[in-house]
Amino acid sequence: MKENTHPKWYPDAKVIVEGEVVMTVGSTRPQIVVEVWSGTHPFYTGTQRLMDTEGQVDRFMRRLQRRQDIQTTTETTKQRSMPENYDIDMMDLGTRATNALRDAGLTTYGDLLALLKQGDDAVLALQGIGQTALIKIKRALRDEELIS
């Protein structure tokens, strides 16, 4: 049989948890450093303990929050980019016609489109809106392909 094939045996090897010696065992190493042992393991103690190594839970929560923020921003951008949600200021109707529309509670292209579906007379019935303003409104809505 060959000599020196077996490692050195340490009958009183120390088991260290969080800088504290918790027991001695026989081992091929003089010291054993562990993170969990039977004194702290949930199976033996009956309690749960969250072991967050290097902030993994925090990093995950930040990534999750960032993803939700991006989704919210994307949805908001999509809503704003829809022609129905454009503000009436983009039509260049003039101050009088724009103020008349705002006084009537019409602030977006979609609001004007809904009123225009009732007919031209419904738009002309608004005080401060005349034929020229109606033509400009229809032109702006055609440019955005909301009406034909």
Longest CA pairwise span in the chain (Å)? 112
In a 13 Å sphere around the CA of 13, the CA atoms on its Cβ side amount to 15
Distance, in Å, from the CA atom of 144 to the CA atom of 24, rounded to the nearest integer, reads 80
pLDDT per residue rounded down to tens, the chain (148 residues):
678 888 899 999 999 998 899 999 999 999 999 988 888 777 777 776 666 667 787 888 899 999 999 998 888 887 767 777 788 888 888 888 888 888 888 888 888 888 888 888 888 888 888 888 888 888 888 888 788 7
User: What does each C-alpha distance from 62 to 5, 29, 68 come to in angstroms?
Assistant: 52, 41, 10
- To the question of pTM greater than 0.85 for the whole model, the response is no
